[in-house]
Amino acid sequence: MSTSTTASVSTHILDTSVGRPARGVAVRLAARTGRTAKWRELGGSATDADGRCKDLPALPAGTTHVRLDFEVEPYLEKSTDKSANNSVTKSANKQADAQQDAPANRDSGVFFPEVVITFAVKPGEHYHVPLLLNPFGYSVYRGS
């Protein structure tokens, strides 16, 4: 059992559409000291080559709630551009069929431009919160 008076937070992002870490995603961290308290922005970081944020700011004493804000739009736009370039090798008919069947929102940009996760914390505990990301969905969980 930890004797620390504050909680700590870490995160990483896995792009499940390609089975690889998501590099270069900006992550902001905020905290509050109660359900009705105002959020206090603490700073942020960006994911490294392993999809991890190793230098998120420490949580202040008294923190009860934490918010992670993942700015995934630039990463997903870049990933979509790479996918589009790979599609050039398909036949013209297959490309036309795929474009016709594609959801309308795919042409207008990224479906989830940001992912915001809010969770409760207790002093002395560590919270690892992985984000599993793909262009049309995501999930999070409390890791170890």
Sheet strands (E) in 47-114: 52-53, 65-71
Position 87 scores a pLDDT of: 46
Please indicate, yes or no, whether the overall pTM of this predicted structure exceeds 0.85. no
| All structural domains of the chain | 8-72+114-140 (2.60.40.180)
Give the number of residues written for the chain: 144
CA–CA dist 11, 70 (Å, integer) = 10
Residues of the chain where predicted confidence (pLDDT) is lower than 50: 1-2, 84-85, 87-94, 96, 98-106, 108
User: Which residue in the block uniquely carries the two structure tokens 């008294």?
Assistant: 62
